[in-house]
Structure 1
Amino acid sequence: MRGASAESVATLTEALEATVDAGADATRLADDLLGVAAILRREAGLRRIATDVSIAPAAKSDLVRQVFGSQLAPASLDLVAQAAGRRWAGSRDLGDALEKLGVIAVVRGADDAGQADALEDELFGFSRLVSQNPELRDALSDPARSAEDKRTLLHGLLEGRVTAATMRLAEQSVAGFHRTVAVALEEYQKVAAQHRNRLVATVRVARELPAADEQRLQGALARQYGKPVHLNVVVDPRVVGGMSVEIGDDVIDGTVSSRLDEARRRLAG
C-alpha cells in the first residue's frame, strides 16, 4: 500500500497496539477484524461507501457501527469505525488493511503468550510443506472446494502439531483473498517479522545445524544488520557442505555446491 492507504495502516496499527495494551483480547480482535475484512471483500457496495472520499468520515464510521455493532466486540468495533473514517487510495485497500491488522493481532496474541517464535517457525514450516507438495497446494487453492472442506483438510494436517495462532493464520491463508496459499503465508511471515522488528534469514545447509552454531550465526547476522534476526533453517542435501544465507535482498552463498559450480564454469570457459 502507498500514499493515503499506507498512512492509514500505520495509524491503525498504532491504535491496535494501544487497544491490546489497554487490555483488549487480541484473539477476539483478530477474529473480528479478519471477519470484517472478508465481508468487505464480498460486499462491493458496502466497500465502496466505506471508502468513498466524498462522504464525511464521521458518516462512514457511523455506518459501519450500524452494520457491525451487534457482531463485534466494542474494541473491535472502534477500530473498524476508525478504519472507515480514514482515507484510502483504493476501495480494496480497506479490506486488505483490516486483514493485515487481524494478522498483527494474531501475532501480538502469540507474542504475549510467549509463542511468537513458534508461530514464525510453524508458518515457515507450513509454507515449505505446501510448496513441496503440489497435490496439497492444488487442494488448498482449488476454488471448487468449499472453505469448510479446506479447513477440515488443514485441521487434519496441523491439529495438535501447531499453536492456535498458526492454525488461525493457516485457515486465513485458504480463504481465497490472495493469489495462492503460498503468497498468503509469505505475506503473514513478513507481517510477523515486521511487527516484531526483526529480519528473517533463510539458511540452507546440508544437515541440521547444532544449536550452538545456530545461535552464533544468529548473533553474527544481528550484529551485521543491526536488528534481531530470526533463522529459518532448510536442510538441503544438494548443498553438500557450507551454507547459504538469504536475508532481505542479500544472498551470502558459502556452499560447497556453489564453489563447485563456479569451478566448472571456469574450466568450461
Structure 2
Amino acid sequence: MTNVECVSSVLFSCIYTLLKFQSDIRLHQPASDLDWNTMSSSGVTLYPAECENLINKLVQSFWATEQTYMEMYAVCTQDSTSALGFAEFFHLCALRNGTLGMKLLNYHTSRGGQMIGVEIRRSIGMPEKKDMSAEKLMLMAFDMEKMLLELMNEIHLMARSKNDMSTDQYIDSKLMKPQTQMLTIIQNHIRGLNESENLWTYDVLTMKPFVSKIYQMIGLGEMTPIFRSCSLQGNVCAATNSVVSNWNKESLEAFASSLLC
C-alpha cells in the first residue's frame, strides 16, 4: 500500500468514526431537546407546521375572495346597477386575488407544504338585492381585504416566533405592503364615491379611467368585451391621465404587479 493510500484509509476511518459518534449522540438525545423546526442538513429552516397551516388558510382565503369579487362583478353589470367601471374594478380584484393565491401556493409547495383541499365559498355574505349598491360593495371589498391583511399579519408573527425567516420575508415583502396599498386604494374610492354627485358620474369619470390605467400598466391595453363596448370609451381614454395623476404611483404599481404571474 502506498503512502497516499495509507493516508486516505486513515482519513476515511476518522471521518466515519466521527459521523457515527455524532449519530449516536443524536439518537440518545431526548426528543424534547431536538428543535425539529430548525434542523436541516443544508442549513435551511424546515417548514413549521403552524406556518404551513396558516399558509393553507391564506391560499383558501385568496380564492374565496376571488369568488366573491366575481359575484360583485356580476352585480355591477346588471341593468339595475349598470356600473361598468366598478364591474371592471371588481374583475381586476378577482384576478389579483386568484394570482396571489397561485403565487402563494407555489411558494407553499416549494417548501414541501401540502395543500388541503376544501370547498371554496365566498368569503363574505352578499347583501340582499334591494340593498346592493356600488358603495355597499366597496365597503364589502374593504372588509375582505382587511381580513386578508389580518391573516397575513398573523402568519408574519407566527413565522417570526418559529424562526421561519423564509415565510417571514415572503409575507412581509410580497404580500403585506401591497395589501396595505390595496386597502388605501379601496378607501380612496369609497371616499370619492361619497363625495361625488352620483354613482354614474364617479363610475364614468373616475373608476373607468382608473381601471383603464391598470390595464395599461399590465400591458393589456384593453378591457373585457363588456367594458370595451361602452359608448363612453373615448371619454374614458381622454380622462385617464388627469384622473390617475391624483393617485399614488406606488399604489397603482403595487396593484398592477399583483396581477402579473
The TM-score bracket by the shorter chain reads under 0.3
Q: TM-score, normalised by structure 2?
A: 0.24
Q: Which is helix-richer, 1 or 2?
A: 2
Q: TM-score, normalised by structure 1?
A: 0.23
- Highest relative contact order (Cα 8 Å, sep 6+), 1 or 2? 2
Larger Rg belongs to: 2
